[in-house]
Every structure is written in structure tokens, then in C-alpha cells.
């Protein structure tokens, strides 16, 4: 048993039984047995069960959201959106079982077709920053394609995932088709990597652990999808709508207290408007409402844990060029005010490492070429934004930045019907959108001879 704390007040929220390695191995074997019949559930019935699951999530939305506020410190507005995202992703992939199309390829002497086979047991390893959506992005397409799922939530944030497991059963999914196994990454997560019965691992988390997961999976030639860290650039050109760019920039990095792999945590500003941009940014940052996340007005809550607050604080040494900060509540809870560091050089540690907290660096640049060069001076490449009124520049820079998800004159968040994933050390493979099913199926080619007995 271990304790789960509310990061906003450090009070005990629940105690949770940690799954042991033996229990996880047994769950994987039950999952494999369940797979034999789940794969044969007709496409229409599988779709219907996923829709019922989506409706069950919808019916429980307020409870799921309130649970996330207590367990993760997410603002109530965000938490509702996250539960709704699970519902919507389930509905989206409920359309998939009946559309898992193969091809017919012309050949001589018969017919050649391709079919998409499910992989078997899929292990999904979820981090603490978005417990509900990241779980759903794994299990919804995996189940739709006919796989069964074992899911390990982060140790710190297991409660909503456990509830989603119950809702799946209430919706009529057969037992063991989706099992939620709270516990340690080094035990349950590692078992998903090492156990040959697990056919695929979907991992979201730190680049460091992601590399170890990939290395471990290579021993079995086990496919992996990895969604890892980020240090995304928000590039503001002199010809941009500076008021809008400055007003929106805080939300592009401080949402979820900066604990977001897509956080635009490097703001690159053209030198000719650098000072003006900072003038506009200051009131925008100070206007971010950092408060009890259960309040409807809250825009930012606490960090997830004391240890994580320590880690974020370690970036604010005496030499850190703090330009200005927002506010945060005093007293219990893992609070940290929004913090802007400026001017920062691209090589500074704060500009290079993923801080994963409400700290943003502002870096000046001269011209378009330098903007692209600085944006790409990172091992990561997950998301980013480009602010300019020039369509040509927007397109050139969007093509030049090495990143999986870019938005122009906006900070678009992840849309479940478009692909999401990273370049370079931000990950491997794509989640969501129409192509995610490729990551949960193997293509089988079948040739049927038309020769022989008449
Ligand atoms: P981790 O990468 O350690 O954790 C992510 C998930 O992996 C958790 O469920 C964790 O379990 C599990 N895990 C840990 N070790 C193993 C292992 N050996 N094998 C399989 N699974 C494992 O991230 P942290 O929570 O420690 O966060 C550290 C940093 O990572 C953050 O500060 C941030 O920079 C980055 N991060 C990035 C995220 C992203 O979305 N890109 C998400 C979360 C973190 P357990 O809960 O038991 O640790």
C-alpha cells in the first residue's frame, strides 16, 4: 500500500495497492487469454462496446474531473476537458473496427490481399502529467484494433486510470480486456518491457526512461511507441500581432503548471521587438490565476510533488536572470509561481533542459535563419508555435523547424483526430489521428491461388 497526496494541500487522498511483479505477470497472461476472444468480437460489436465505454466516461465526467483535481492538482476546467478527451477519443476510435481496411494488390495466378492483424497484449505506461488523456490515447486505438491492454498509471496519479478501468467493465467490455495495474515503473513498467507475452509497449514519460524502455524492448524486437520530452520554441517575429502573441504565451507554457511535454518553454523573440514584447508579457504573466485548482477561476495549480518542486527550483540559481514572476499561494501544497527568465542564451542550461515546470526562457534572435537555427538547437522536437503576419515566412519556418507539431499564430493543443508525436529525442511513432491504428496492427499479406482443382 502506498499513499496518494493532493498536491494542492498535501493531504492524503487515497491509499493504493501496488501491483507486484508476480501479479503483473499473471495479469498479462489473463490479458493474453482475453485477447483470443476479443480479437474475434465482430467489428460492429467492438465498436458498440467502445461507444458504450465512451458514454460511461461521459456519465462519470464530473467524478473523474474532481478526482483528477484532488490527485493531480489540475484545474477543474482542464480536468473536465481531460475526461471529455477520453470520451471523445473512445468515440473516434469506435469508428475504427469497421474501417480497418486492407488492400487488394494485382497479381498473376490468384488474388493478393492485405489484412491488419492485432498484435496481442499491449502494455501502456502512463506518466503523471496527463493521467487521463495519455491513457486513452493508448488504450482506445489499441482496443479498437482488437488488442487487449494492460495499463500502468504513474505511481503518483493512479486514481482516474483505476476508475476508467471500472467504467470499461461497467460498459460491458469483457473482463481482462483492459486491466489497470497501479504500481512502480521499475516493477510493473519494467515487466511490460521484459515479458515476451506483451507484444508492444506504448510509453510516455522522460526521454531517459524512454531510451531504457526502447533498449529493453529491442531484446524481443518488440515494437514501441515513445512520447518523450520537449523544449518547444514559441517564435515571435517583429511583424507578428505582438499583443496576441504576448497575451497567449503564458498559457502556452504555464498550463498544467508547465508540466506538459508540449509546453512552449522557449520564447524566441526578434531583437527589434524584444523589449516591447517583454513589456506586454509581464502583465499577461501576472494575470495568470494560480490558485486552488478546484475553483472555477483557477488557471494554474500546483506542481505534482515536493520532489518535482525541488527539481524545478534547482533551475533558479542566484545567477538566473529572473525578469519577472507571477504569484502563487503560500502555505501547504507544491506551489511555484510562473517565472520568466530573460534574456537567456540558447546554450544556457535553462534553455537546453526540459524543466517541466512554470519557467520560461526568452531568447532574442536577429533574423529568420537564426530563429530556425535556435529553435532546432535542441535534442527535442515535439511542438512549437510561429507568430508572423507573413504567410510565406510562416510556411518557410514551419517547414524548417524540426518538430512534430507546429501551429501558426496560435498554440494549438493536441487534437485527437490529427497525428501527434515527436522528432528527434521527443519520441518515436505517432499517436492519435487516422494513422494510430498502424501502430497497433501488423500488416499480413495473403496470396490465394486461383490454380488447382476446378
Ligand atoms: P518517468 O519517465 O520516470 O515516468 C513515466 C512513467 O514511466 C511512469 O509511469 C513511471 O512509473 C514509468 N517508469 C519509470 N521507470 C520505468 C522503467 N524502468 N520501466 C518502465 N516504466 C518505468 O518520468 P517522471 O515521472 O520521473 O518524470 C521525470 C521527468 O520526465 C519530468 O520532470 C519531465 O521532465 C519528464 N516527463 C515527461 C513527460 C512527457 O509527457 N513527455 C511526462 C512525465 C515526465 P513511476 O510512476 O513508478 O515512476
Q: What is the pLDDT of residues 26-54, one digit of tens each?
A: 999 999 999 999 999 999 999 999 999 99
Q: How many CB atoms lie within 10 A of CB 447?
A: 11
Cell numbers 506542481: residue = 303
Q: How many CB atoms lie within 10 A of CB 343?
A: 16
Cα separation, 285 vs 96, whole angstroms: 42
Indicate the top mutation candidate among 71, 74, 127 to test ligand 1's pocket, ranked by most ligand atoms within 8 A of CB. Answer: 127
User: What pLDDT, on a 0 to 100 scale, did the predictor assign at position 182?
Assistant: 98
Question: Model's pTM, two decimal places?
Answer: 0.97
Cα separation, 304 vs 301, whole angstroms: 9
| Sign of the Cα pseudo-torsion (330, 336, 340, 341, in order) | positive
Whole-Å CA distances, 154 to 71, 149, 388, 424, 452: 11, 16, 39, 24, 57
**Which entry of 82, 227, 291, 431 is annotated as an active-site residue?**
227
Span from the CA of 408 to the centroid of ligand 1 (angstroms): 30
Tell me which residue has its CA closest to atom 12 in ligand 1: 185
Is-contact 248 278, C-beta < 8 A?
Answer: no
Cell numbers 538566473: residue = 320
Pocket-forming residues, ligand 1, beta carbon under 6 Å: 125-129, 152, 154-155, 184-186, 189-190, 193, 204-206, 209, 212-213, 227-229, 261, 354, 356
DSSP string computed for 123-180? EEE--SSSHHHHHHHHHHHHHHTT-EEEEE--TT--HHHHHHHHHHHHTTPPTTSEEE
User: What pLDDT, on a 0 to 100 scale, did the predictor assign at position 244?
Assistant: 98
User: What pLDDT, on a 0 to 100 scale, did the predictor assign at position 453?
Assistant: 77
Q: Residue 261 catalytic?
A: yes
Span from the CA of 300 to the centroid of ligand 1 (angstroms): 22
Residues 253-286: b if buried by 16+ CB within 10 A, e if exposed: bbbbbbbbbbbbbbbbbbeebbeebbebbbebbe
Q: Residue 262 catalytic?
A: no
Span from the CA of 383 to the centroid of ligand 1 (angstroms): 19
Span from the CA of 305 to the centroid of ligand 1 (angstroms): 13
**Which entry of 68, 82, 217, 261 is annotated as an active-site residue?**
261
> What DSSP element (H or E) covers 121?
strand 121-125
CA 450 to chain centre: 48
Tell me which residue has its CA closest to atom 15 in ligand 1: 185
Q: What is the 3-state secondary structure (H, E, C) of 268-307?
A: EEEHHHHHHHHHHHHHHHHCCCECCCCCCCCCECCCCCHH
Tell me which residue has its CA closest to atom 32 in ligand 1: 356
Cα separation, 84 vs 109, whole angstroms: 51
- The three-state secondary structure class of 3 is strand
Which residue numbers in the chain have pLDDT < 70? 454
Indicate the top mutation candidate among 16, 153, 209, 228 to test ligand 1's pocket, ranked by most ligand atoms within 8 A of CB. Answer: 209
Amino acid at each position: 500500500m502506498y499513499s496518494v497526496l493532493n498536491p494542492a494541500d498535501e493531504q492524503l487522498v487515497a491509499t493504493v495497492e501496488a501491483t507486484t511483479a508476480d501479479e503483473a505477470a499473471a495479469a498479462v497472461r489473463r490479458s493474453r487469454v482475453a485477447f483470443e476472444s476479443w480479437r474475434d468480437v465482430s467489428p460492429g460489436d467492438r465498436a458498440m462496446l467502445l461507444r458504450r465505454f465512451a458514454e460511461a466516461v461521459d456519465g462519470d465526467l464530473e467524478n473523474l474531473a474532481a478526482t483528477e483535481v484532488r490527485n493531480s492538482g489540475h484545474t477543474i476546467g482542464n480536468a473536465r476537458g481531460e475526461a471529455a478527451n477520453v470520451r471523445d477519443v473512445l468515440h473516434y476510435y469506435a469508428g475504427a473496427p469497421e474501417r480497418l481496411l486492407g488492400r487488394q494488390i494485382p497479381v498473376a495466378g490468384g488474388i493478393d490481399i492485405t489484412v491488419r492483424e492485432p498484435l496481442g497484449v499491449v502494455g501502456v505506461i502512463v506518466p503523471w502529467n496527463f493521467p487521463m488523456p495519455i491513457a486513452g490515447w493508448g488504450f482506445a486505438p489499441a482496443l479498437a484494433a482488437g488488442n487487449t491492454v494492460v495499463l500502468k498509471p504513474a505511481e503518483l496519479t493512479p486514481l482516474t486510470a483505476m476508475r476508467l478501468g471500472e467504467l470499461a467493465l461497467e460498459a460491458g467490455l469483457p473482463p481482462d480486456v483492459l486491466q489497470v495495474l497501479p504500481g512502480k515503473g521499475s516493477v510493473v513498467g519494467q515487466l511490460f518491457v521484459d515479458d515476451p507475452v506483451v507484444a508492444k509497449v506504448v510509453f510516455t514519460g522522460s526521454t531517459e526512461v524512454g531510451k531504457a524502455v526502447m533498449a529493453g524492448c529491442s531484446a524481443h524486437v518488440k515494437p514501441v511507441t515513445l512520447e518523450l520530452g520537449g523544449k518547444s520554441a514559441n517564435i515571435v517575429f517583429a511583424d507578428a500581432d505582438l499583443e496576441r502573441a504576448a497575451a497567449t504565451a503564458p498559457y502556452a507554457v504555464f498550463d498544467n503548471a508547465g508540466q506538459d511535454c508540449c509546453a512552449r518553454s522557449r520564447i524566441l523573440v526578434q531583437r527589434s521587438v524584444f523589449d516591447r514584447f517583454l513589456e506586454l508579457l509581464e502583465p499577461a504573466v501576472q494575470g495568470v490565476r494560480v490558485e486552488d485548482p478546484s475553483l472555477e477561476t483557477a488557471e494554474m495549480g500546483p506542481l505534482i510533488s515536493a520532489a518535482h518542486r525541488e527539481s524545478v527550483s534547482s533551475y533558479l540559481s542566484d545567477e538566473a536572470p529572473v525578469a519577472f514572476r507571477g504569484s502563487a499561494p503560500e502555505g501547504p501544497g507544491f506551489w511555484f509561481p510562473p517565472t520568466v527568465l530573460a534574456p537567456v542564451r540558447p546554450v544556457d542550461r535553462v534553455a537546453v533542459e526540459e524543466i517541466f515546470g512554470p519557467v520560461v526562457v526568452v531568447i532574442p534572435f536577429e533574423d529568420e535563419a537564426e530563429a530556425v537555427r535556435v529553435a532546432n538547437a535542441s535534442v527535442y522536437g515535439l511542438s512549437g508555435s510561429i507568430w508572423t503576419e507573413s504567410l510565406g515566412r510562416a510556411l518557410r519556418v514551419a517547414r524548417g523547424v524540426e518538430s512534430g507539431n507546429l501551429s501558426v499564430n496560435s498554440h494549438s493543443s493536441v487534437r485527437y483526430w490529427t497525428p501527434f508525436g515527436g522528432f528527434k529525442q521527443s519520441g518515436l511513432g505517432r499517436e492519435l489521428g487516422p494513422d494510430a491504428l498502424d501502430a497497433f496492427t501488423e500488416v499480413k499479406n495473403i496470396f490465394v491461388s486461383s490454380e488447382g482443382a476446378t
